[in-house]
Amino acid sequence: MKRDSRAGYCASSPELEHWLTRHIAQGFDAESLVLSMLRSGYDAAFARHAVSAAIGHPPAVASAAAPAPVAKAAATPTVTGGNAFRHKDREMPILFRLDSPRILLLQNLLDDAECDAVVALARDRLQRSPVVNPDTGDENLIDARTSMGAMFQVGEHALLQRIEARIAAVTGWPVEHGEGFQVLNYKPGGEYQPHFDFFNPKRPGEARQLRVGGQRVATMVIYLNSPASGGATAFPRIGLEVAPVKGNAVLFSYGLPDGALDERTLHAGLPVEAGEKWIATKWLREHPYRSRG
């Protein structure tokens, strides 16, 4: 398969033609097919041409920072002018998009009332946030992460169900592939130093995590308030900082077309300088996720 060094994969193959034929027969529309090809690393113009030839009419779709296509139909967004997602009555403008690494910033994923309600749900559950020990798989407290957190099961509350359905619509990734929400609170000086969200299968503790849903494939960070100063989500290897603005969400995925993990997604929660920061994090897995009982 050929690849344009400035873009993505841009040559057909019997495997691609079979994939298109099978998914068209299963009822996938043109927009969904192009979106799946973009997530797998295909060049945008080539993807539109290939789908147009296979299905008989040209699709119009914007690329998104999301995992590779799934083998089952999932809710797909309506793309408004290529610059926004729409789910039910909510329009979510795309503020910026990077293709390499795949990062997408959405506006209005949650409205102010929803943000406040999620914070209210979490307040009574807050505990010091742990991290997974890479050698044992246990959850430990470390100085590099100074937030307080509250964990929720998938679908635990009607509000969370509504938000999870919206995330599934935006990403095309089924709700059952998501871990439960983790809501975090950072006080002044609170931070999370640079880290990866995916698991290293060569570390025994992290390998244990792969048995309950496979590898993490994407992260969505939802900002539940706007701190007075500081608290950005930083990607130091690409020189990007995302300001925490209430209702916005940054989505990034770490799978490369060759199956490797994109280490440019190293990221950090920068120290809060004034006020406090509230976020909700949703991690997506390659397989349906079940928590360890």
pLDDT digits (tens, 9 = 90+) for 205-233: 888 889 889 999 999 999 999 999 999 99
Residues of the chain below pLDDT 70: 1-9, 23, 25-29, 31-32, 36, 39, 56-81, 128-146, 291-293
> What's the pTM?
0.71
Nearest Cα residue to 129 out of 289, 280, 265, 292: 280
What CA–CA distance (Å, rounded) separates 16 from 256? Answer: 18
**pLDDT of amino acid 226:** 98
| Torsion of the alpha carbons at 129, 279, 121 and 188, rounded to the nearest 10 | 70
DSSP, res 110: S
Listed in order, strand segments (DSSP E) in 135-191 are 139-140, 148-151, 182-186
Phi first, then psi, for residue 43 (nearest 5°) are -60, 140
* Residue appearing with tokens 């990403």: 171
- CB-based burial of residue 274 (10 Å sphere; 0-12 exposed, 13-18 middle, 19+ buried)? exposed
**pLDDT of amino acid 144:** 55
73-78 long-range contacts, CB within 8 A, separation 24+: 73/26, 73/27, 73/28, 73/32, 74/168, 74/172, 74/173, 74/174, 75/165, 75/168, 75/169, 75/172, 76/29, 76/31, 76/32, 76/35, 76/169, 76/172, 77/169, 77/170, 77/172
**pLDDT of amino acid 1:** 40
For residue 92, the cross-strand partners are 85
DSSP, res 179: P
DSSP, res 30: H
The DSSP H or E segment spanning 278 is strand 277-285
Degrees to nearest 5, angle at CA 269 with 265 and 275: 155
